[in-house]
Chain A
Amino acid sequence: MSAPLSKFRPAYVVGIGLHRYQHISETPYPVLGLAAVREALADARIEWPAVESVYHGTALLGMASTRVMLRHLGGTGIPMQQVENASASGSTAFRLAAYEVATGVADVALALGVDKPSARPLAGSQTGIRGIEGGRIVPFTHFALLAQKYMDRHGATPEDFARVAVKNHGNGAHNKYAQRQQARSLVDVLNDPPISGPLTRLQCCPVGEGAAAVIVASEDAIARLGIDRRRCVRVLSSAQRTEVVYAESSNFDAELTRQTTAQAIADAGIAPRDLDVIELHDAFTVEEIFYLEAMGIASPGEAPAMLKAGAFDIGGDVAVSPSGGLLAMGHPIGPTGVGQIAEITRQLRGEAGARQHEGAKLGLAHMVGVGAVCVVHVLGETSSFL
């Protein structure tokens, strides 16, 4: 029998750090990762030797990337490992760090994500089972097909999807860590070069490089290290699932999201509409619509109207992708899921500045990954817990 996080002792996010997500460059990856880790340590006001364990979410750096980077913090001999779970690599690293602290294996664990894009083929292309598409269906066409189906079913329009990009680019314009920091109008998004189906370039996330770091600690460690309790955010639940055969097979990510989110929400003891902030896998605009409906934030077919009415804006019913999401903040793969936790922590602390969703108390982070896999976390501000 598997056990939810809530069966164990509380685990808290106590420090966050990022290196800006950016277009791929000649910058060696340790420069990215060390900047994020040092910023997270400074944010928690603790020193590197306090960290007891490292889970490094990375999909594209290659074998054995962690120790050769983190040795430059001064070797302490602690366990370190890479965690590869496609786009959910960072989310999975965070989950493992949270479980390690909650179960008492460690008092302080670091979840890290560092990546640089590469052209390495997916293992799925090497299973010996081929498809008939001949490489013609890449992710943006998968989502273009799902978008067309949604338009046909619900009478939605290309403008409905483009509004997701307008909102998220607007949020990213206030985020110094975002790869894209420019607000865009509906006309900008719609007139951008067409990619596939209704999707234009600005409706597809940039895959660049970057780093994100989150330090997870127990109450014992918070007391022992003198960490500021007011800036700690509790990990209320963690859920991870994989795809099965669904009745509606093509939007498997939405079905997987429905199940995984339901589990995370139930384990956290909340309802979907209690959430104040959501960071979700908006690699393509249409995904935000699909997943908000799958999560129970909007009824089927209703997300576009709620979006248009401002329900998902910062200051709306629930701020969705206040960081800018994958669309604007960017999707460097390994860091993305860890960066979501950093943004939710910033929001729940009330430290998000121009992006602050006032009164944010509960946040949800969601990533899906090729495979397909899904990881969802619910975080809560701590005034009611500590």
Chain B
Amino acid sequence: MGDASSEPELSHPDLYASRDGATVELLGMRCAACGYVAFPRQRYGCEKCGATGAALVDVALATGGTLVSYATVHMHQAKNIAAPFVIGEVELDAGPTLRATMVEQNDAGLDVGARVTGRLHPAPAVDGAGAKLELRFARVAS
């Protein structure tokens, strides 16, 4: 874990963690009964086989993966979410597929099949709250 005193707070410390202030990891889980790897972690029961309790094992998932789709969002109903922005769908090397905001502000440089990784990026300011970092994905320079 990074030193909290030297870093801005994370938007969702229950979902991801910063290691050495450099790399970010997703807080996922693995079902010891069926092997299903999921994100985010939860304690209710495995979505695939129903196992619960000690069968649900916390795992940290590396954020490296492949971009399998993207969309530029031109409008959004919520007043506190400014468009445009780009959403990516990422197939993690670690298993799960997830969707997240991209660091890229437009889809010009994005291609399906591109290598991407998670980055901590300044989150949009929310009324008076201090600066926070949120997990986004970005294309890995080739």
Q: What residues make up the interface of A, taking CB atoms closer than 8 Å to B? A: 128-138, 141, 144-149, 152, 193-197, 244-245, 249-250
What is the number of contacts between chain A and chain B, taking CB atoms within 8 Å?
89
- Smallest Cβ distance from B129 to chain A, in angstroms? 14
Chain A residue contacts of B89, Cβ below 8 A: 145, 149, 250
Instruction: Tell me which of A129, A137, A145, A195 contacts B75 (CB under 8 A).
Output: A195
Chain A residue contacts of B11, Cβ below 8 A: 134
Instruction: Tell me which of B14, B40, B70, B77 contacts A145 (CB under 8 A).
Output: B70
Contact, CB under 8 Å: A245 / B36: yes
* 9 more A-B residue pairs beyond the given contacts A136-B73, A136-B76, with a C-beta to C-beta distance below 8 A: A132-B16, A132-B40, A134-B81, A135-B78, A145-B87, A197-B71, A197-B72, A250-B68, A250-B89
Contact, CB under 8 Å: A148 / B15: no
Contact, CB under 8 Å: A129 / B72: no
Q: Nearest CB to that of A197 among chain B residues?
A: B71
Contact, CB under 8 Å: B74 / A194: yes
Most buried by B among A132, A137, A138: A132
Residue B97 interfacial (CB < 8 Å): yes
Can you pick out 22 interface pairs between chain A and chain B where the beta carbons lie within 8 Å of each other? A129-B40, A130-B14, A133-B87, A134-B101, A135-B81, A136-B81, A136-B101, A138-B76, A141-B71, A141-B73, A144-B71, A144-B87, A145-B71, A149-B68, A149-B69, A193-B74, A195-B75, A197-B70, A197-B72, A245-B47, A250-B68, A250-B97
Q: Nearest CB to that of A129 among chain B residues?
A: B42
Q: How far is the CA of A249 from the CA of B68 in the complex (A)?
A: 12
With A145-B87, A145-B89, A245-B48 as given contacts, are A132 and B135 in contact (CB-CB < 8 Å)?
Answer: yes
Interface residues of B in 70-97 (CB under 8 A from A): 70-78, 81, 85, 87, 89, 97
With A129-B40, A133-B100 as given contacts, are A196 and B71 in contact (CB-CB < 8 Å)?
Answer: yes
With A129-B40, A135-B78, A137-B87 as given contacts, are A250 and B12 in contact (CB-CB < 8 Å)?
Answer: no
Instruction: Tell me which of A133, A147, A152, A193 contacts B99 (CB under 8 A).
Output: A133
Q: How far is the CA of A197 from the CA of B100 in the complex (A)?
A: 15
Q: How far is the CA of A141 from the CA of B73 in the complex (A)?
A: 7
Chain A residue contacts of B42, Cβ below 8 A: 128-129
- 4 nearest interchain CB pairs? A197-B71, A144-B71, A149-B69, A194-B74
The proximity string for B residues 23-39 relative to A, scoring 1 for CB distances below 8 Å and 0 otherwise, is 00000000000001000
Chain A residue contacts of B60, Cβ below 8 A: none
Q: How far is the CA of A196 from the CA of B83 in the complex (A)?
A: 10
With A137-B99, A152-B112 as given contacts, are A132 and B68 in contact (CB-CB < 8 Å)?
Answer: no
Chain A residue contacts of B101, Cβ below 8 A: 133-134, 136
Residue B98 interfacial (CB < 8 Å): yes
Chain B residue contacts of A132, Cβ below 8 A: 12, 15-16, 40, 98, 100, 134-135
Contact, CB under 8 Å: B69 / A148: yes
Q: Nearest CB to that of B34 among chain A residues?
A: A245
Chain A residue contacts of B44, Cβ below 8 A: 129
Chain B residue contacts of A250, Cβ below 8 A: 68-69, 89, 97
Q: How far is the CA of A145 from the CA of B135 in the complex (A)?
A: 19
Instruction: Tell me which of B71, B78, B135 contacts A148 (CB under 8 A).
Output: B71
Contact, CB under 8 Å: B48 / A196: no
Contact, CB under 8 Å: B87 / A195: no
Q: How far is the CA of A147 from the CA of B107 in the complex (A)?
A: 15
Q: How far is the CA of A134 from the CA of B76 in the complex (A)?
A: 12
Q: How far is the CA of A245 from the CA of B37 in the complex (A)?
A: 11
- Smallest Cβ distance from B109 to chain A, in angstroms? 15
Instruction: Tell me which of B72, B112, B134 contacts A149 (CB under 8 A).
Output: B112
The proximity string for B residues 108-142 relative to A, scoring 1 for CB distances below 8 Å and 0 otherwise, is 00001000000000000000000000110000000
- Smallest Cβ distance from B55 to chain A, in angstroms? 16
Q: How far is the CA of A196 from the CA of B87 in the complex (A)?
A: 10
Q: Nearest CB to that of A200 among chain B residues?
A: B74
